[in-house]
Amino acid sequence: MIDAIDTASRQDGRRYMRHPVNIPISCHKEGHRTPSWHELRNMSYGGLSFVCNEAYCPGDIIDIEFPGLRHRTRIRGEIVWCSPAAETKPHQYLHGMKFLDEGDHHHAQLIEQICHIESYRRAQQLRYGRTLTCHEAAEEWIAKHAGH
């Protein structure tokens, strides 16, 4: 079920600058009714990577939602590689997904917003000792910056 990491696909994904993030995402596999929750690891203009308990197969079509963001955003992508996650996370898999339908402008806005929220969350921890969940950070950041 798990393909070896496809070297060409991983190298192709490195064409874009990766933005490390750690936020929950909702994934819905094409042909399945129930979405599942996973952890986003990083994003680029070409795709993203995430960790989950399920091993998706290269070629699987996935719809990703970002529930904590200002606008309900859904992005469609294709799994291009899957590998076991680090030894510290048994029975978890790291996936690489390339974006299918959306344009670069849409991805740029999404990445920018997620990076701002992550930066805000980290700044709150460092400056004020406040530990915010991703959802709390998103709500606060959006409330302060909506319409700016």
Could you please report the per-residue DSSP string of 91-105?
Answer: T-EEEEEEE-S--HH
- Note the pLDDT of residue 68: 67
φ, ψ of residue 66 to 5 degrees: the values are -115, 85
CB atoms within 10 A of CB 113: 19
- Note the pLDDT of residue 20: 67
- Note the pLDDT of residue 12: 46
- Note the pLDDT of residue 72: 63
3-state DSSP call for residue 12? Answer: helix
Q: Who's near 119: CB < 8 A, 6+ residues apart?
A: none
CA-to-CA distance for 46 and 103, rounded, in angstroms? 10
For the entire predicted model, the pTM comes to 0.68
Question: Whose CA is closest to 74, among 107, 104, 96?
Answer: 107
3-state DSSP call for residue 40? Answer: strand
Cα distances (Å, whole numbers) of residue 119 to 13, 47, 76, 129: 23, 20, 25, 14
pLDDT in tens, the chain (148 residues): 444 333 334 444 456 666 667 777 888 888 777 878 888 888 877 888 898 888 899 999 998 887 766 566 778 899 999 998 875 566 889 999 998 866 655 666 777 777 788 888 888 989 999 998 877 888 888 788 765 5
Cα distances (Å, whole numbers) of residue 117 to 33, 88, 110, 120: 30, 27, 11, 5
Please report the domains of the chain, with CATH numbers, ordered by start residue.
7-102 (2.40.10.220), 107-145 (no CATH)
CA-to-CA distance for 48 and 114, rounded, in angstroms? 12
Taking all residues of the chain, what is their mean pLDDT, rounded to a whole number?
Answer: 76
